[in-house]
Structure 1
Amino acid sequence: MNQTTAVGRDSLREAIIKNMITVALCFSIVYVNGTLVHIFNRHQIFNTNPRYILYVHLVINDIIMVIMFILLQVLSYIMFTINVSLCIVLLMTAVLASQNNPLTVVLMSVECYVAVCFPLHHSRVCTVRRTYVVIALTWLVNSLSILPDLFLTLGTENPDFFHSRRFCLRANVFRGNLEYKRRLSNILFFVILWLILFYTYFNIWFAAQTASANAKKARNTVLLHGFQLLLGMLNFLFNVVIEAFAVIFPRNVPYIRFVVSILIQLVPRIVNPIIYAIRDKALKKYLKKYLLIAANDADVHPIKTQKRDNFATGVIKNVILAALCISINYINCTLLHTFRKHQV
């Protein structure tokens, strides 16, 4: 995951507008994804099904990525530079979450493949316990992509470096000559994922020739997983896209970084819940219930007579509140910074 702002400072007006847009999107994404996680925890039909467990793992990673995105952006505007140790923690968390997503998408395709091509063995192969073990292995495998950067930095940098302040970018913190390694590992990573995805798709496609409704539905699901994987790949092309547009529009790099960040890092987080929640009837049913129905249902405690806001009202209220808080904090921090910098 990459930072959303350029190293140059925006004006106060631009900073407020950009943060309001970002916070509005982030709050909406976290609200919807948080509702999906709540539905998963509340209903046994979801938390005992390996398919939904993998899906919720995808949603949780989206939430982590969005939180890291907004933290890095807001901190970069308020303080510009942050402690290197804190930056390392934030970057490592963001990188792990961003790499977990494409791997989880492929695992969901493999689960579909087993369900369609080996239906008699599905309940034995895809158990809840094995699903959680695979998720743990996913985190372990993906940590191998960021740990070399960490160990190299720990071994080569002076201890004072970790107490210094830097603009929080991966290139500013992990300064070892590992860019070629990163690109090569990312290419290899996605080649393997695409090979697995194509293998599962074509096997399901051949199974669908038998006119099985479940097989045809699974084939369409794997196609959507391919689209999700394509969106996940965009995150790894962030710097390439920025550099390409910076050559064409050298004077608009801050705006380019902001727009590309929204399109590459936030828009896919909106698409992921929509793809599954709308297509899955059971999930769609519960999602509509939790997002759109007021809290005066039969299972609400009698003492709690106050009605809940609907989804649109709740999002609008939270966005306004968050925008006001960020604006006030940004102005106050600017005043404090001015007070400390100028003797007058």
Structure 2
Amino acid sequence: MANVTDGLLYQPREEMMVFTIVSVGSCCTFFYINCVLLFTLRSRPVFYETSRYILLFNLLLADTAQLTLSKILYLLAVCRIRLTLYLCGVLVMISVFMAPISPLTLMVMSLERYVAVCFPLRHAEIVTIRNTAIAVKVIWAFSLVNILIRVFILLSLKHDILPSRPMRDFCSKEALLLVPMSYHYDKAYSGFVFISVGMTIILSYIGVMLVARSASTDKASAIKAGKTLLLHLIQLGLILISTVYSVILTLFASTADRILLVRLYSIFFVIFQIMPRCLSVLIYGLRDQTIRPVLMSYLRCLGCLRTFS
């Protein structure tokens, strides 16, 4: 690591503390709940032997890891800690590796709901534990290939990289887009992932709603699945915004002063980085009749243990 400055000199200390406390507090709260839900999904056989709960675990694991890495990078920026290029590269590459896992898992979860509603008689045949495990492995492999391509582009086109050199600014994904090809690849990859996932969720929702209109189907189940797909679409939209909010800040940079940009960065971080990674608890943890009682019992038990400790 390089030197640590005395803080954000261009932002009042009290204001910086308020923003930091709010973001850290909300992040830690949802991190705690996410961890309890992860534990819940490994506490009963019904959870680790059912495809949709396996997919939920994968989604929640990626969201929790992404939430943690985002918080680390945010605190490094707030404290004005400049890392070496190598250390920053490791943190950013792990973050970039985890980022597409959430939308891709949302896509598979949407397809699972589509099959459950539109092909109920074949659901047990199509959505098996084996097929779910294959889908999860493909998602992680797809993310790994993305990282390898990014590293190859960077190393092949940027020959003057000094990994031990301290960075000039705080660590971020944008700081590692050192060649134009990296920038273009990043935009093309993000666009491909989110357009593909978005279209899959939308088409799944249309299929489910068409089935819900049929008199020969369980309307309540179909409508509930449609609401879940809509929530997936909202979550995907927030995740998409979280990948491009730095571009939004860049647009403000031409007209806004630095203090306003810091305020916007803090607000955007809470809304677009923390919130999308916490919706899984609301969509499944509280709405699912199987998970909710187990999750609430663990939260109450852990709360009692903390009270009497």
Q: Which amino acid aligns with 1:106?
A: M
Answer yes or no: is the 8 Å Cα contact 2:88–2:171 preserved in 1: yes
Quote the Cα distance in structure 1 between the aligned partners of 2:8 and 2:130: 46
Answer yes or no: is the 8 Å Cα contact 1:83–1:164 preserved in 2: yes
Deviates more, 1:181-190 or 1:227-236: 181-190
Given the alignment of the two structures, is residue 87 of structure 1 paired with residue 88 of structure 2, yes or no? yes
TM (norm. structure 1) is 0.78
In the TM superposition, what is the alpha-carbon distance from 1:57 to its structure 2 partner? 1.1
> 1:283 aligns to what?
291
In the TM superposition, what is the alpha-carbon distance from 1:87 to its structure 2 partner? 1.2
Q: Which amino acid aligns with 1:188?
A: F
Answer yes or no: is the 8 Å Cα contact 1:149–1:176 preserved in 2: no
3-state DSSP of counterpart to 1:192:
helix
- 1:164-313 aligned at under 5 Å gives the runs 164-166=165-167, 167-177=170-180, 178-211=182-215, 212=218, 213-251=220-258, 252-293=260-301, 307-309=304-306
3-state DSSP of counterpart to 2:286:
helix
Answer yes or no: is the 8 Å Cα contact 1:109–1:200 preserved in 2: yes
Q: Residues 243 and 287 of structure 1: is their aligned pair in 2 closer, same or farther, counting only changes over 3 Å?
A: same
TM (norm. structure 2) is 0.86
> 1:111 aligns to what?
112
Q: Which amino acid aligns with 1:61?
A: A
In the TM superposition, what is the alpha-carbon distance from 1:43 to its structure 2 partner? 0.7
Q: Which amino acid aligns with 2:174?
A: A
Quote the Cα distance in structure 1 between the aligned partners of 2:212 and 2:223: 5
In the TM superposition, what is the alpha-carbon distance from 1:78 to its structure 2 partner? 4.4
Q: Which consecutive residues of structure 1, in runs of 5 or more, have no partner in the other structure?
A: 1-5, 296-306, 315-344
Answer yes or no: is the 8 Å Cα contact 1:100–1:139 preserved in 2: yes
Answer yes or no: is the 8 Å Cα contact 2:8–2:80 preserved in 1: no
Q: Which amino acid aligns with 2:183?
A: E
3-state DSSP of counterpart to 2:254:
helix
Give CA deviations for 1:163-206 in whole Å, capped at 9, x if unaligned: 11213122322301132332233223222222211221111112
In the TM superposition, what is the alpha-carbon distance from 1:10 to its structure 2 partner? 4.8
Q: Which consecutive residues of structure 2, in runs of 5 or more, have no partner in the other structure?
A: 1-6
Q: Which amino acid aligns with 2:173?
A: R
In the TM superposition, what is the alpha-carbon distance from 1:33 to its structure 2 partner? 0.3
> 1:134 aligns to what?
135
Quote the Cα distance in structure 2 between the aligned partners of 1:89 and 1:287: 34
Q: Residues 171 and 52 of structure 1: is their aligned pair in 2 closer, same or farther, counting only changes over 3 Å?
A: same
Quote the Cα distance in structure 2 between the aligned partners of 1:127 and 1:258: 42
3-state DSSP of counterpart to 2:35:
helix
Work out the number of aligned pairs and report it: 296
Identity of aligned residues (%): 25
Q: Which amino acid aligns with 1:92?
A: M
> 1:27 aligns to what?
28
> 1:318 aligns to what?
none
Q: Residues 8 and 268 of structure 1: is their aligned pair in 2 closer, same or farther, counting only changes over 3 Å?
A: farther
Q: Which amino acid aligns with 1:154?
A: L
Quote the Cα distance in structure 1 between the aligned partners of 2:92 and 2:8: 17
Q: Residues 159 and 179 of structure 1: is their aligned pair in 2 closer, same or farther, counting only changes over 3 Å?
A: closer
Give CA deviations for 1:68-88 in whole Å, capped at 9, x if unaligned: 012212333446211222211
Deviates more, 1:242-251 or 1:19-28: 242-251
Quote the Cα distance in structure 1 between the aligned partners of 2:302 and 2:250: 48
In the TM superposition, what is the alpha-carbon distance from 1:38 to its structure 2 partner? 0.5
Q: Residues 69 and 169 of structure 1: is their aligned pair in 2 closer, same or farther, counting only changes over 3 Å?
A: same
Quote the Cα distance in structure 2 between the aligned partners of 1:187 and 1:171: 16
Quote the Cα distance in structure 2 between the aligned partners of 1:73 and 1:193: 27
Answer yes or no: is the 8 Å Cα contact 2:228–2:283 preserved in 1: no
Answer yes or no: is the 8 Å Cα contact 1:149–1:174 preserved in 2: no
3-state DSSP of counterpart to 1:168:
coil
Answer yes or no: is the 8 Å Cα contact 2:23–2:266 preserved in 1: no
3-state DSSP of counterpart to 1:42:
coil
Quote the Cα distance in structure 2 between the aligned partners of 1:193 and 1:108: 11
RMSD value, Cα? 2.5
